[in-house]
Amino acid sequence: MKNPIIRLDVPASPEFFPVARAMTEKSSTALGLGQKESMRVGMATEEIFMYLCRTSPGQELSIRSSWGGSCVNIEFGFSARHFPLHSFNLTSRVDISDEQGLDEVGLLIASRMVDRFSVETGGDDKITLILTKEKNYEKAKADSRERPKPSDSFTVRTPEPEEAFFLAESVAAVYPPEEVPRVFAHPGMLADMLRHGQSCALIAVSQGGEILGGIEWEWTAGAKTAQCLGPYILTEEADSALCEGLLNGCLESLAKLPVLGLLNRRPNHDLPVHYFELIGELPITGLDGALRSIPHYFRQMHEDPGSSVWADERLEPFLKEEYGLLALPRKILKSGLTESHAAQPSVLFAKIDRSRKTATLWPVSRGKDVRENLAAHIAALGPESTGGVYFSLDLGRPWQAEWISPVMDAGFVPRLVMPYAGHGDIVLFSL
C-alpha cells in the first residue's frame, strides 16, 4: 500500500481544535506510532493550533499527516508575519510576565513533544512547519549467536522485512557498539524503513539459505547523493568477495537513478575503502575517553556537472583546497553581507546522538542574535555531547553563509565537504 497522507483544512478557531488534535493523534496511531507517542503529537498540535487561534484568528490552516518510514511527520501550513520560530530552539526560554511570553509557552511545550522539526518559508509570509515524532523501537537483543561459516558461493538479493530484522539483530550482536548505527541497533526500524520504501538493502545469502551479510542505503527522490551503511559481514572470517559483492549490488541499483555520488559516514572495518575517496575525518571522543577520527568516504558515480556554492572570505581558502583535492568544479559566491538584517531571533536545530554522546547543530533560520544563540546552544549541549559538537552548513543556501564567521569565531574548525549532501554541498565543522 502506498504511504497514505491524511489532510485537514480548517480555520484557526477554538471550536475546531478538538478536530485538529484528534486528526493528528488518531492518524499517528493509524500510521504506526504507539499510544503515548501519538498523544504527544496530539498535544503538540493543540499547542500550535491554539497559538494560531490567539494570534491569527480565523486564518486557514492546512494540516498533513504522513508516515516517514520510522516516524510520523505532521505539516502545518499557514501564514504568519512574525511566527516565533525561536521557541523551537533547544535553549528557548519564555518570559511569562508578559502576554507575548504566555502565548509562546504553548509553542515551547509543542517543541518538546516531538523529536525534531524543520521549516520551509515561501512568499506572502507562508510557513510550513514540519514536526517529526519517531516511533519507539526496541533495541536489538544482546545475544551471542553462532556466526555462519564463509561460503564460496552466495547470491545477493533484496531482503524480506523479516530477513532485514534478522540482519540488523546479527549486526548488533557481531560488531562493536560504536560501529552499529541506530537503524541497525533497532532492527524494527530497518524492517519498517524497507517496508515503506524509505531505504533499500541487499543481503548476501549462501546456497543453504544463511544470511552472510548485508548493506543498507538511503536516497531521497531529487537528491544527488545517496548514503550507505555497510557492508556488514556476519561470517566467522573476513570475506572481501562478500563485501565487494554487496557493495557492487548497491552501486548497480543506484546506477539506475540520477545519483551523482555515494557517501559513507559510518565506515566499519569491512568497508572496501578502495571503492571510495577519503573526503576527510571528524574527531570524536569515544566513551572510553580516547580521541579518534571518523573517516568519511565518497564515491563519484557520474561526471559532476559543477555548481555554485555560497561562502565567505574566511571559508574560501578551505573550500578551494578541498575542491582542488576532490577535483570538483565549483564556483564560490560571496554575498557580501557581514551580518543579518533579520528582525527575528535565529533558530538552530540540535540533533543529539546519545549512543556516541555527540551533537550536531543545523541552522534553521537566520536572525538578529546568531552569536548569542550559538553560544547558548554550545553551553547547553556541553554535558550531553562529550563525544563532540559539530556544525552542519549547507553551501547551497545563500543565507546560511551568514553563520560562517560566528561559527568559526566560536571555535569550530571546518573538517570536510560532503558533495551534494543537502540543497548543495555540506561543510561539517567540529568544535
Q: What is the pLDDT along the chain (431 residues), one digit of tens a residue?
A: 567 899 999 999 999 999 999 999 999 999 999 999 999 999 999 999 999 998 888 889 999 999 988 999 999 999 877 788 888 888 877 666 666 666 778 888 888 899 988 888 776 778 899 999 999 999 998 777 788 888 888 999 999 999 999 999 999 999 988 889 999 999 999 999 999 888 999 999 999 999 999 999 999 888 999 999 989 999 988 888 999 999 999 999 999 899 999 999 999 989 999 999 999 999 999 878 889 999 999 999 988 899 999 999 999 999 999 999 999 999 999 876 655 567 788 989 988 887 788 999 999 888 889 999 999 999 988 777 888 999 999 999 999 999 999 999 999 999 999 999 999 999 999 99
Compute, in degrees rounded to 10, the torsion defined by CA atoms 303, 309, 315, 320.
Answer: 30
pLDDT of residue 235: 92
Residue that is written with C-alpha cell 564567521 in the block: 405
100/111 Cα distance (integer angstroms): 17
Three cell numbers at 163? 530477513
Closest residue by Cα to residue 247 from 261, 234, 266, 228: 228
184/159 Cα distance (integer angstroms): 14
Distances (CA, A) of 133 to 183, 278, 360, 417: 16, 34, 18, 29
Give me the phi and psi of 424, to 5 degrees please: -140, -150
- One-letter amino acid for residue 274 of the chain: H
Q: Which residues contact 395 (CB under 8 A, 6 or more apart)?
A: 309, 310, 311, 319, 401, 417, 424, 425, 426, 427
Pairing, β 200-206 against β 154-157: antiparallel
Closest residue by Cα to residue 16 from 73, 65, 62: 62
Instruction: Decide: 309 and 395 in contact? Cβ < 8 Å.
Output: yes
Three cell numbers at 174? 557481531
Hey, which residues does 227 pair with through a beta bridge?
218, 263
Structure letter (DSSP) for residue 252:
H
Pairing, β 261-264 against β 225-233: parallel
- One-letter amino acid for residue 316 of the chain: E
Rg over alpha carbons for the chain, rounded to the nearest Å, is: 23
pLDDT of residue 142: 72
Structure letter (DSSP) for residue 366:
-
Closest residue by Cα to residue 294 from 203, 382, 388, 377: 388
pLDDT of residue 337: 63
- Cis-peptide into 231, omega within 30 deg: yes
170/143 Cα distance (integer angstroms): 9
11/316 Cα distance (integer angstroms): 48
